[in-house]
Structure 1
Amino acid sequence: MILSTVRAVVLDIEGTTGSASHVHDVLFPYARERFADWLAAHRGEAPWTELMEEIRTHTGDPRLGEEGAVAALTAWSDQDVKVPPLKRIQGLIWAEGYARSTLTGHVYDDVPAALTRWRQAGIDRYVYSSGSVTAQHDWFAHSDHGDLGALLDGYFDLSSAGGKREPESYRAITRAIGVPADETVFFSDVGEELDAATAAGWRAVAVRRPGDPRGREVPGHPTVPALDDIQLHRRTRREEETQT
């Protein structure tokens, strides 16, 4: 598959650039077991204060204490509710795990080469995930392929862009990166996210890794099993000069 006139790619993580099972079977339980300990260890610090305010806002209880916060976080985690305070504390806990080398981020084998090709082609490379920007950065900086941070130009999450099934979130990213919507390609394994991206004027490609129980195709979108199954090209200098 070949796409031309591409100036930026935006990548999902879970199920697209990294294993969904790694998230659900390793990272989520790791954070869940440490909610109470993290809050107790950081009590009164700025991140603790900001997090508690977020949790109180989302629960609607302005007097919620640590015990109630842990209960809310645990319930959100068990139900995989994508709310900013849960994603924030998960990212903070994972950061400590990465720093201790007890965690690594899973990245599929084709991803580093794809990012390198796109960088060499002059195509900007971003990540957009429901996980916090901190968690995304750590995932790639501490990946099982080494530090991939230099291959990425930026990160977006629920707080900085909005929900991944909302077209306005993709419009917000377009404004932030300064690349026309029709020259931006989004890669994800979730049809509703791809639908939202195309509604915002982006181009979208589904990624369905081998063995995905949902099947090999995402209805309504071109689908590839890996990033090396697609070629992206930026406009040539002559084409860009013709457009100006």
Structure 2
Amino acid sequence: MSQALTVDSVVLDIEGTTSATGFVVDVLYPYSRSRFGALLSERSGDPDVARAVAQVREELGDPSADNVRIEKALNAWLDEDRKATPLKTLQGVIWSEGFARGDLVSHFYDDVIPALRTWHAAGVRLHVYSSGSVAAQRAWFRSSPEGDLLPLVEGLYDTENAGPKQDPASYRAIARALGLAEAPERVLFLSDRPGELDAAREAGWRTVGVRRPGEPYYEQGVGDHAQAGAFDEITLFRSTP
């Protein structure tokens, strides 16, 4: 269904919304799984790695957990598709390096990049909120099939700098960062997950559920949220204060 909205900012989910879940699960997850061990043994002094390792130990309740135990936990969380912050941090480190080397090129649905360029040209501010780390998001947008899209995006948010994606407080925190705490209705969230859309709406945001055939949440639907099957069904105009 076509949607036309006047907003200041649009916040994008990635997996299932801009990009195929299958690519993440079938390409990125195995890539990170094969490199966890080397990362833990070779990069323990890296601040991001050290912080994530400490968080894994805290989650496990085992402050002395060694690299073997930590890698086992990471792989178990990967199997569960658990949105654990330290897992996403370490995946982000690995994926960033993979994109930089040219091992990986990110996936976007065909309708997404033209829409992002159109919205950006119209003055709508673009942001990302994903369970994947900010580092992974940055690498993802920098390594698209059409080159570096990062100049289109103003802000990147994840579960570490914003909070859990089904918690309305996370969306309120992002609205504050956007300078729209007093006008959350000027923020639009696009996601395929009804729980995330519900949380955003509770925080006062506008919402459109993106339903793409073949995605995990397609059959479930997006509840009573407005919906679109692709980004080219969404027309955005920039609001003015």
Partner amino acid for 2:235?
Q
What residue in structure 2 maps to residue 183 of structure 1?
Answer: 186
Give TM-score scaled by structure 2 length.
Answer: 0.94
Instruction: Answer yes or no: is the 8 Å Cα contact 2:48–2:89 preserved in 1.
Output: no
In 2 relative to 1, CA 79–119 (structure 1 residues): closer, same or farther, beyond 3 Å? same
The sequence identity of aligned pairs, in percent, is 47
**Structure 2: distance between partners of 1:177 and 1:199:** 17
The reply to whether residue 171 of structure 1 matches residue 167 of structure 2 is no
Instruction: Answer yes or no: is the 8 Å Cα contact 2:127–2:154 preserved in 1.
Output: yes
The reply to whether residue 219 of structure 1 matches residue 223 of structure 2 is yes
Q: Which 5+ residue runs of structure 1 have no aligned equivalent?
A: none
**Structure 1: distance between partners of 2:84 and 2:25:** 16
Secondary structure in structure 2 of the residue aligned to 1:146:
coil
Deviations 1:130-153 (A, max 9, x none): 000000110110012211111111
Give TM-score scaled by structure 1 length.
Answer: 0.93
**Structure 1: distance between partners of 2:7 and 2:47:** 41
What residue in structure 1 maps to residue 237 of structure 2?
Answer: 233
In 2 relative to 1, CA 61–86 (structure 1 residues): closer, same or farther, beyond 3 Å? same
In 2 relative to 1, CA 216–45 (structure 1 residues): closer, same or farther, beyond 3 Å? closer
What residue in structure 1 maps to residue 125 of structure 2?
Answer: 124
> How many residues align structurally?
237
Aligned alpha-carbon RMSD (Å) = 1.5
What residue in structure 2 maps to residue 207 of structure 1?
Answer: 210
How far apart are residue 98 of structure 1 and its match? 0.8
Deviations 1:162-197 (A, max 9, x none): 000000000000001112210100000000000000
The reply to whether residue 193 of structure 1 matches residue 196 of structure 2 is yes
Instruction: Answer yes or no: is the 8 Å Cα contact 1:208–1:216 preserved in 2.
Output: no
How far apart are residue 211 of structure 1 and its match? 3.4
Q: Which 5+ residue runs of structure 2 have no aligned equivalent?
A: none
Q: Between Structure 1 and Structure 2, whose CA radius of gyration is higher? A: 1
How do 1:104-119 residues align onto structure 2 when only pairs under 5 Å count? 104-119=105-120
